Amino acid sequence: MDRIQVIGSESARLAEVVAQADPSARVPTCPDWDAKALLWHLTGVHRFWADVLAQNPQTDDEVGALEQEGVEPPGAIAEILPLREQATADLLVQLGELNDHERRWSWWEPDQTVGFTRRMQTYEATMHRIDAELAAGVPVSAIADDVAVGAVDHCVDVMWGWMPNWAQYEELAVVELVASDASNRWLVEIGHWFGTGPESGNTFDMARATRAPESAAATATVSGTAEQLSRWAWGRRPEEDAVTVEGTTEARAAIARLIEQGIQ
């Protein structure tokens, strides 16, 4: 997979779609955003990671100084478009110059490398491109097979798996995801983590999923093409009935909760 090409082309497609959309069009897969906010989000994401790769921050304070969270976007989409183009170009320059094994900060503690950022930005650009097409009401472009399979991998290994070290965890189901157009399958343990945050005092109860041991017995299956499964896993609305969920009542409830929790 040429990840630089994927990030570049998916980001350009997002910008192309948003440029022709109503700036206030809601993004159905990220309800808090409109089309303009989606474009500004991608711009900020690419600027942040380009700076992380270029400047190699070593402390939380240094990372925080690079964040643009809360920065107000310019007044019009036309003003954001060149900022997005430059931010993406800067990110791709860094990814072109650095090797995957080189150390760089990431929010995913188990993997502090350039490779993590390269993978994450591949799937983030792809899914946000879908967001733009859904918001604009235009046909959703296809996802390449290798990108779709990788996106499911990334969900299982990263996006669904985080929990704080103080939380308790309970397993609820083992589910097999089956790509009907490929040889890929994923055995996934779904559960939930819960507890009271020691600093905030807030009570949490959140869905979680990780890879299950190959010896685990599945109590449900989710089947569809690799593209359909990737859109389903990331909450990007595959066509109705494109993904089939079968299994026990408890397992289907655990699956529904995981997907409803969503990924932004």
Record the tokens describing residue 100, joined without a space.
Answer: 């995957």
The dihedrals phi and psi of 107, each to the nearest 5 degrees, come to -75, -10
Q: How far apart are CA 141 and CA 130, in angstroms?
A: 7
The DSSP symbol for 36 reads H
pLDDT at res. 235: 94
Mean pLDDT for back-to-back runs of 10 residues, the chain (264 residues): 97 97 94 94 96 93 81 87 97 98 96 98 98 97 96 96 95 96 92 95 96 95 96 91 94 96 84
Query: Where do the CATH 3.30.1050.10 domains begin and end in the chain?
Result: 146-261
The whole-number pLDDT of residue 69 equals 61
Outline which parts of the chain fall under CATH 1.20.120.450.
3-141
pTM of the model: 0.93
8-state DSSP, 196: E
Q: What is the pLDDT of residue 112?
A: 96
What does the pLDDT read at residue 70? 61
Mapped onto helix, strand or coil, the DSSP state of residue 31 is: coil
Q: What is the CATH number of domain 146-261?
A: 3.30.1050.10
pLDDT of residue 245: 96
pLDDT tens, residue by residue, 193-209: 999 999 999 999 999 99
Looking at the domain 3-141, which fold is it?
Four Helix Bundle (Hemerythrin (Met), subunit A) (1.20.120)
Q: CA–CA distance from 91 to each of 31, 55, 60, 193, 263 (Å)?
A: 27, 12, 21, 34, 22
pLDDT value for 41: 95
pLDDT on residue 158:
96
Burial code (b: 16+ CB inside 10 Å, e: under 16) for 67-87 equals ebeeeebeeebeebbebbeeb
